[in-house]
């Protein structure tokens, strides 16, 4: 099965994409987008969230971004949200008093609190299930914004060497939507 391809992949990988996707077993990004081995560096987590740059927390996410952008020179970062996301459901149902039922999940999905706040402000009049669907998309936008806090992402975007894209897979309806981030970054930001 692809002996020539795997012979090349044994030597090195040159993916064009870094893909952030949810761990949900119903939404495999390689299947959805028909990626072949070596085409995408894929990172999956609960609710496909990307936290802001922070060297003290979430180092697994930061390491994946740094490796893909700096060492693999990916040209695209795609964050894919999806319908019926359990992580987003939990985010939207987090108790306002800060109490938690989980050791790790609640802390993780709190990365999405700005998306939840925006959805509550704009769509608070809708039933909770509809708010959750809106938050599935808004969490993608938040992750795309958070990606721009990583210095190597900003630097590559400023050089037009890296594009950020959001995607939403509605597996219930069988459709996939993609949008591109229009960055306002024109030069590297030095901290």
Residue 22 annotated as binding? yes
Residue 103 annotated as binding? no
- Residue 85 designated active-site: yes
- The 10 Å Cβ neighbour count of residue 98 is 8
- Residue pair 76/18 in contact by the 8 Å Cβ criterion: yes
Q: What angle do CA 23, 79, 31 make, to 5 degrees?
A: 55
Main-chain dihedrals φ then ψ at residue 176, nearest 5 degrees: -135, 130
- Residue 23 designated active-site: no
* DSSP code, position 179: E
Residue 175 annotated as binding? no
Catalytic residue among 23, 26, 129, 175: 26
* DSSP code, position 41: E
Residue 85 annotated as binding? yes
- Residue 190 designated active-site: no
Q: Counting beta carbons within 10 angstroms of the beta carbon of residue 77, is it exposed (0 to 12), middle (13 to 18) or buried (19 or more)?
A: buried
Catalytic residue among 34, 84, 85, 103: 85
Catalytic residue among 12, 23, 24, 84: 24
Strand bridging mode 163-170 / 175-180: antiparallel
- CA Rg value for the chain: 17
- Residue pair 89/175 in contact by the 8 Å Cβ criterion: no
The annotated binding site is made up of 22, 24, 82, 85
The annotated binding site for Zn(2+) is made up of 22, 24, 82, 85
Catalytic amino acids?
22, 24, 26, 82, 85
């Amino acid at each position: 099965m692809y002996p020539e391809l795997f012979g090349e992949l044994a030597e090195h990988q040159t993916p064009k994409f870094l893909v952030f996707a949810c761990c949900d077993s119903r939404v495999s990004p390689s299947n959805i987008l028909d990626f072949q081995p070596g085409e995408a560096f894929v990172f999956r987590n609960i609710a496909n969230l990307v936290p802001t740059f922070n060297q003290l927390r979430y180092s697994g996410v930061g390491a994946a971004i740094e490796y893909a952008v700096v060492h693999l020179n990916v040209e695209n970062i795609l964050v894919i949200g999806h319908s019926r996301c359990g992580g987003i459901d939990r985010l939207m149902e987090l108790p306002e008093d800060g109490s938690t039922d989980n050791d790790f999940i609640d802390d993780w999905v709190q990365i999405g609190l700005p998306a939840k706040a925006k959805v509550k402000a704009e769509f608070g009049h809708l039933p909770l299930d509809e708010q959750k669907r809106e938050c599935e998309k808004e969490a993608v936008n938040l992750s795309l914004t958070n990606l721009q806090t990583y210095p190597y992402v900003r630097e590559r975007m400023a050089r037009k060497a890296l594009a950020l894209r959001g995607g939403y897979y509605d597996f219930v309806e069988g459709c996939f939507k993609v949008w591109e981030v229009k960055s306002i970054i024109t030069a590297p930001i030095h901290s």
